[in-house]
Amino acid sequence: MAESYDVVIVGAGISGIDTAYRMQEQCPDRTYTILEGKAALGGTWEQFKFPGIRSDSDLHTFGFPFRPWKEENAIAEAAPIVKYLNETAQEYGIDRKIQFHHKVKAADWSSDQQSWNLDVDGNGQRKRMNCKFLLLCTGYFDHDSALPAKIPGIENFQGTVIHPQFWPEDLDYTGKNVVIVGSGATAITLLPNVAKKAAHVTQLQRSPTFVVALPQDDVVNRAARSFLPTSWSFKFIRMKYLLAAWLFYKYCRLFPAPSRRMLKKGVAQSLPKGYNLNPNFEPKYQPWDQRVCFTPKGDYFQALSTEKADVITATIKNVTNNSIMLDDGNVLRPDIIVTATGLRVLMAGGINMSVDKQPVDVPEKFIYKGMMIQDVPNAAVAIGYTNASWTLGSDCTAHFITRLLNHMKSNDYTSATPHVDQSQPLKERNLLELNSTYIVKAKGALPKGGDRWPWLPRTMYLRDLWEAKHGAYTELDFASVST
């Protein structure tokens, strides 16, 4: 007999734990379970093992609003993040709701039954489950396969080739020459950490990125902790980071030329006097066309200030059995090549979704209020921000869905389905408004944003949070069917 729940949450990462807390807080009379394909909770932070892996957002906003990040460091590595997630799940009894080694393979909505029928691989056995509402807290990338790095001749290399997503924990790079191919947050994180043991590390980038040194703590935070009651200080620090991130983003978008000069000046101040910034720190795009990378305490710049690390901006002509030949004629001779070239984007965890046995092509659908899938009843996807912490978006989704569940119960509705008003056709917009390589390559794998509310992509947390808690159910159709 199939297990039955009011709500099934797929994924026990930070989004899934946040959603579970909101379910317990706002819908205590509803049953739920969390299905997690792996052996432990934590999602990204449990899977990735590369040296120095850390958040690329501050933990004061990346952490849960209901359980503040109490450490002084704004940026944290994976181990303390996983510890924080485990402690949160244990404190609120969420850990008892998680079914590990349970991977959802398919989900079919039955209009007759007004429920989702789930096909689940549970500990190697096929299981059937059903639920009234399906919440997909699976992140936005494929946990099982990486984005292939298109590097000419890489198959010829006789040394070690690694993708950061599947870093071997027993890899010994002591005294080795390492080349990191890429310019994003992973490369910026890897370089200073690998340089601690490697003979030399080179970051090889096709095009530069904007990098900002971020202090782990500051005088404002310390003053807040000293003079405000503990609960107030946490709220103050969180709001400070929220507003600072939003103002920084808006300034960069509204004033790209002065923001570019400001960011370049920051790099020059972080590197030795006379360090040549061109071309390695002269991005061709404007700030926040791609995500700005942060380096806590400037550790990236500190590593580049030594003889153990450098950065090269060039394109690869070919990889031989023992070298990387560049188009400018230079040759690198690494022992290890790390392909930090991005992730393979995958929404909804790759679950085969259908409505009354008719397949749902998720990338062809628009996303309602940054969470619900066009024409799909009683389902939502937890999507975060590209210009702020991911958890902020997940929490908006959790607030909206729990309020929606209570609204449906009060009105005896059994389903809610977002439909586009056909009298006002939508123009397509990118759901994640960045032009990073892995996002560009994901075209056709991501669902779509629209050019008007409520189909606009998320960009502003405080507005989205108000909308999640108080907004109208525009273009959302309700049904009440006897089951």
Mean pLDDT, 10 residues at a time, the chain of 483 residues: 93 96 97 96 92 91 94 92 97 97 97 96 94 93 80 94 92 96 93 96 94 90 91 93 92 94 94 90 89 92 95 95 94 96 82 95 92 96 87 95 97 96 85 64 76 89 93 92 64
State the Cα–Cα distance between residues 199 and 153, nearest whole angstrom. 25
State the Cα–Cα distance between residues 6 and 133, nearest whole angstrom. 6
Residue 192 exposed, middle or buried by CB count within 10 Å (0-12, 13-18, 19+): buried
The confidence score (pLDDT) of residue 342 equals 80
The confidence score (pLDDT) of residue 274 equals 85
Fold of the CATH domain 154-215+272-339? FAD/NAD(P)-binding domain (3.50.50)
- CATH superfamily, with its number, for domain 3-144+344-479: FAD/NAD(P)-binding domain (3.50.50.60)
State the Cα–Cα distance between residues 400 and 27, nearest whole angstrom. 12
Nearest to 132 by CA among 379, 382, 347, 348: 379
The confidence score (pLDDT) of residue 252 equals 92
CB 157 within 8 A of CB 320: yes
Q: Check if 3-144+344-479 and 154-215+272-339 are the same fold.
A: yes
The confidence score (pLDDT) of residue 442 equals 59
State the Cα–Cα distance between residues 244 and 321, nearest whole angstrom. 48
Domain ranges of the chain: 3-144+344-479, 154-215+272-339
pTM equals: 0.93
The token pair that represents 103 in the structure block: 């991977």
CB 30 within 8 A of CB 156: no
The confidence score (pLDDT) of residue 443 equals 66
